[in-house]
Amino acid sequence: MTDLCIAGLPIRVESADKAYFQTRYADYIRRDNQPPVMEMRTRILDELPPPQGQMLEQVKSVRVLRTTDGRLCRFGQTAEGKVMFAIYCTPDYQDVEIQFCTTWKHPHFTLRELEYMYTGFSFQNRLSVLGGGVLHSSSLAWRGQGVAFSAASGTGKSTHVGLWKERFGDDVQIINDDKPAIRFTEDGPMLCGTPWSGKTAHNCNRMVPLRAIVFIERGQQNRIRRLDVVEGMFHLTSQIVRPYYDADLGVQVVDFTQRVLENVPLYLLSCNISQEAVDTAFNAIFSKGDA
């Protein structure tokens, strides 16, 4: 098992692909004696026994049941009934075991990539129980102040963050290029790095005050405006994963979204992904006294 600190939370993990995750988790390793708030294990087995319990739901090929010992289990199986993956977890997601069958041939992802994604989803669920959440965004810290740029994939949020790095140099640090965490502490909303940063390794183990969330859309002219509550809720919910397999967890995600709306300024940036777009966003988020 490896002890980590992610978003300020002590986590304990046991990876199947140890070489890959040793690199991914390197910046997050902790050496204190704090008890973990979550334990997560991944197993790759030749055969997965069919999960037993009360069937709760089926979405396409994925089934959800409650086992006799009270855990939730999501699993997928072939038409012949062979189980390809199973995720067992306590109702509060404090203890998670992810199982993959060695013969699972996913049409798009390798077992390494699946472990990477499923461990990220599991951490996200536990964080939601603890009152936080994960926002699909590329995020940075400018002089210790966090800004998350969110949009649908391919819109240019990573490119926009890269332009900030070009513009401000060492004043900017990339927190996470795809899935930063947001937590509420006594200091207010905090933007946190996580090891799960999509296709890139752009992330760091840092927590900074969250100054703003900016939703990006492509446009010919660069302009930005503050979103009202209804618009903000629409944009936030489109970029925060809502679990279909756990209604109670879904309510907690909605509560988290509302808390973000109440505590973090949200903007809509229409831009052409240029240095002028950086100026437009920066001038709206930060006052002249900050520069």
Closest Cα partner for 164 from 180, 179, 181, 147? 147
Burial 59-86, CB ≥16 within 10 A → b, else e:
eeeebbbeeeeebbbbbbbeeeeebbbb
User: How far apart are the C-alpha atoms of 289 and 277, rounded to whole Å?
Assistant: 20
User: How far apart are the C-alpha atoms of 173 and 268, rounded to whole Å?
Assistant: 22
What confidence score (pLDDT) does residue 60 get? 81
Phi and psi at 210, nearest 5°, equal -85, 110
Q: What is the pLDDT of residues 102-140, one digit of tens each?
A: 999 899 999 999 999 999 999 999 999 999 999 999 999
* Statement: residue 288 has pLDDT above 80: no
Domain ranges of the chain: 2-129, 133-285
Give the DSSP letter string of the chain: -EEEEETTEEEEEE-SSHHHHHHHTGGGB--S-PPPSEEEEEEEES--PPP-EEEEEEETTEEEEEETTS-EEEEEE-TT--EEEEEEE-TTSSEEEEEEETT---SS--HHHHHHHHHHHHHHHHHHHTT-EE--SEEEEETTEEEEEE-STTSSHHHHHHHHHHHHGGGEEEEESS--EEEEETTEEEEE--S--TTS--B-S-EEEEEEEEEEEE-SS-EEEE--HHHHHHHHHHHS---TT-HHHHHHHHHHHHHHHHHS-EEEEEE-SSHHHHHHHHHHHS-TTT-
Q: What percent of the chain has pLDDT over 90?
A: 82
The reply to whether CATH 3.90.228.20 applies to domain 133-285 is yes
Residue carrying the six token digits 């690199």: 23
Residue 116, Cβ neighbours under 10 Å: how many?
A: 20
Confidence of residue 289 (pLDDT cuts 50, 70, 90): low
pTM: 0.93
Q: What is the pLDDT of residues 65-99, one digit of tens each?
A: 999 999 999 999 988 889 999 999 999 999 999 99
Q: What is the pLDDT of residues 141-169, one digit of tens each?
A: 999 999 999 988 888 899 999 999 999 99
